[in-house]
Structure 1
Amino acid sequence: MHVGTNQTITTEFVFRPFSIVPTMQWLLFMLFLLLYLTIITGNTSIIWVVHTDHALQSPMYFFLGNLALLEVCYTTTVVPQMLASILDPHTTISLTGCGIQMFLFVALGSTDCFLLAIMAYDRYVAICHPLLYPLVMTRKLCLHLVIIALSLAFLLSLELTALIFAMSFCKHQINHFLCDVPPMLRLACADVHIHQTVMFSVGVIVLTIPFLLICLSYVFIVAAVLRIHSSQGRHQAFSTCSSHLTVVLLQYGCCSLVYLRPKSRSSEEEDRQLALIYTFATPMLNPLIYSLRNKDIKGALRRAVRRTIISQPR
């Protein structure tokens, strides 16, 4: 099918290769495979200990387990196709497959951002209203918050993906390693100003509003911590929040540079490099940050390993 005289509508895409040198392709394949396996191992370990250890049956660890599950699904949406494209730069992805990948990527990434905001609220209630914490953060409320985050994220992703894939695409090479919104808009045959406005609006809902709520939560948290007379108490309160704050800065910082930056200042290569950070670095660092800076997680991991060793047949 043709558009005008020279433009052909594209129904299959290929991703721009990182390198066409065979040796470099294998090195990149092994590197990204190692990172992917590290992400899966680290996050499934968090899910495992949170699910099996009775000492971790609290709202904070319930949200942490859900965050780890999201990271596993999030990277799995992207990395297998990416690895196939590295091995064979001619590997194609269909229009439908590209749409599904974008939908899941945006939906899971958005849920991730909403969940980080929910975790900040959890820390606010725990530190600022410790006596009310068991009454406020009930299991039912925690479950409802996760369901609301998922529903809102999937609804926004569905609307954005449907809007973008209602267009025709005139180029077949995606200058990226996944079907993300900015690189797909660059392939469109028509004017994309409305689509860019919708993408920016979704970015504000997913990134700006949750980030402002997180900042507000931490203003109250810091004020409450400074009122604690014991230095040990202040240290314990800050240590429970520092891991979460580190993850927030990584996630929101990189995503904001991609989705909220004006088009005139955006660069395809910079977008691809930033996407590598929130596709690989953040999901890989999450379990490391939480396990290294949280004595409860470290203790649960030690107990889990000990139970596994003891249960092995001699």
Structure 2
Amino acid sequence: MSNLTSMSIFLLWEFSEVRELQILHFFMFLALYFTAMVGNLLIIAAIILDHHLHTPMYFFLTNLAMMDIGSVSVIIPKSMSNSIMNSRSISYSGCAAQVFCYLFFATSNISVLTVMAHDRHVAICNPLQYERIMHKGACIQMAVIVWIISLLYAIVHTCGTFANTFCSNNVNQFFCEIPKLLKLSCSDFYLVEVGLLVAGCSIGTGCFIFIIITYMQLFSAVLRIPSVHGQKKALSTCLPHLTVVSVLMSSGLFAYARPPTNASDLDVVFAVIYTTIPPMLNPFIYSMRNKDIKNALWKLF
């Protein structure tokens, strides 16, 4: 095949060639996007406007909501735009920007969840030292470190992906996903990016293992609390976070830990699940299980 490194566009996967189904896809994605945006914006507004929620836990929850808004905004609007305009195209620079931004927000999401696990561990296992360890300066420092690490990670992977020579511009996914882009490569440089992806997945797995070990220690500490009321209060601040982590892990495993198949339709369905479901569900999980958030939302309304 001819060298297409100088290509100006990529062609994304099309949900349907039938116009009515394209419009249906547009409205379905619009509903998902609207739900995710409104839910996360309400969480952010409630936390900012209620001074009782100006604590480390809710500071990191605000960061998580911002990352969720970013991750869905990078992918869904472009897919909606293509459906309503009966198009498949995304520019080369737009594809690179989509890869970079999604990696940045996804990495930040996992990193913030890891920091939130540490915060809950300190609050329950070492409450007397909580204010000294998780003071305002430390929280800001941890957030900045998360952003810097995510930024560097996104830069490395984006450069590693688009340094390749592409021999086709047909991406079998509804957004620019690195594994699908690497399949279009006709140079050996893609092996470098594969190695980087494996390293990145290993780091992500390490974060989840850290969270699991942290919660095992945390639940052990909760069971040692003498009063039932104290146990329930401690669990009420932990269960939403653990649920969010479980949703993210299960959706990721659902997408990538299954046996490989040649079914592009299944790949798209799994991609929709892991890119849209966690950001959409997170606000509901936190608002349903947290009385402080419920009260703040009630005041906001």
Q: Same fold (TM over 0.5)?
A: yes
Segment of structure 1 superposing worse, 7-16 or 138-147: 7-16
What is aligned with 1:235?
Answer: 232
Does the residue aligned with 2:11 lie in a helix, a strand or coil? strand
Residue of structure 1 equivalent to 2:252? 255
SS of residue matched to 1:13: strand
CA distance in 2, matches of 1:71, 1:266: 30
Alignment check: 8 A CA contact 2:255 2:274 kept: no
Instruction: For residue 119 of structure 1, report the CA deviation from its aligned partner.
Output: 0.4
Contact in 2 for aligned 1:10/1:170 (Cα 8 Å): no
Q: Tell me: CA distance 1:47–1:34, structure 2 relative to 1, closer, same or farther (3 Å).
A: same
Structure 2 gap segments, 5+ residues each: none
What is the CA–CA distance in structure 2 between the aligned matches of 1:145 and 1:268, rounded to whole Å?
Answer: 39
Summarize deviations over 1:114-137 as a string: whole Å, max 9, x none. 000000000000110111111110
1:178 aligns with 2:175: yes
> What's 1:308 paired with?
none
8 Å contact from structure 1 (residues 258, 266) kept in 2: no
Report % sequence identity: 36
1:272 matched residue in structure 2 = 268
Matches within 5 A, 1:57-136: 57-136=54-133
How many pairs does the alignment contain?
300
> Partners in 2 of 1:263 and 1:154 — Cα distance?
31
Q: After the TM superposition, which residues 1-314 of structure 1 pair with which residues of structure 2 at under 5 Å, given as runs?
A: 2-3=2-3, 10-191=7-188, 192-205=190-203, 207-256=204-253, 258=255, 261=257, 268-305=264-301
Aligned partner of 1:310 in structure 2 is none
RMSD between aligned residues: 2.0
SS in structure 2 of the partner of residue 125 of structure 1: helix
Deviation at residue 267 of structure 1 after TM alignment: 5.9
Deviations 1:215-260 (A, max 9, x none): 121011011011112122112212211111111011123234556x
- Please report the TM-score for the alignment, with normalisation by the length of structure 2: 0.94
Q: Which deviations, in whole Å up to 9, do the C-alpha atoms of 1:51-107 show, x marking residues without a partner?
A: 110111110011111111111111111111110122234342111111111001011
Counterpart of 2:128 in 1: which secondary structure?
coil
TM superposition shift of 1:165? 0.1
Shift of 1:48: 0.4
Whole-angstrom distance in 2 between the partners of 1:108 and 1:98? 16
Q: Give CA deviations for 1:15-34 in whole Å, capped at 9, x if unaligned.
A: 11111111111111111101
Distance 2:290 2:30 in 1: 28
Q: For 2:5 and 2:161, locate their aligned partners in 1 and report how far apart those are by CA, in whole Å.
A: 18
TM-score when scaled to structure 1?
0.90
Amino acid of the residue matched to residue 181 of structure 1? I
Distance 1:284 1:264 in 2: 27
The one-letter code of the counterpart of 2:16 is S
Unaligned runs of 5+ in 1: 306-314
What does the per-residue CA deviation read over 1:176-219, in whole Å, with 9 as the maximum and x for residues that have no partner? 111111111111122433322211111212x2111111012101
Distance 1:47 1:185, change over 3 A: same
Query: For 1:88 and 1:271, how far apart are their aligned partners in 2?
Result: 23
Q: Do the aligned partners of 1:107 and 1:153 also contact (CA within 8 Å) in 2?
A: yes
CA distance in 2, matches of 1:235, 1:270: 41
Which amino acid letter does the alignment assign opposite residue 214 of structure 2?
S
Give the secondary structure class of the aligned counterpart of 1:174. Answer: coil
Distance 1:78 1:134 in 2: 39
| 8 Å contact kept, 2:161–2:193 | yes
Kindly tell me: are residues 266 and 224 of structure 1, through their superposed partners in 2, closer, same or farther at Cα, counting changes over 3 Å? farther
Matched residue type, 2:25: L
Contact 2:160 2:192 in 1 (8 A): no
Structure 2 counterpart of 1:312: none
Distance 1:127 1:265 in 2: 44
Distance 1:8 1:57 in 2: 50
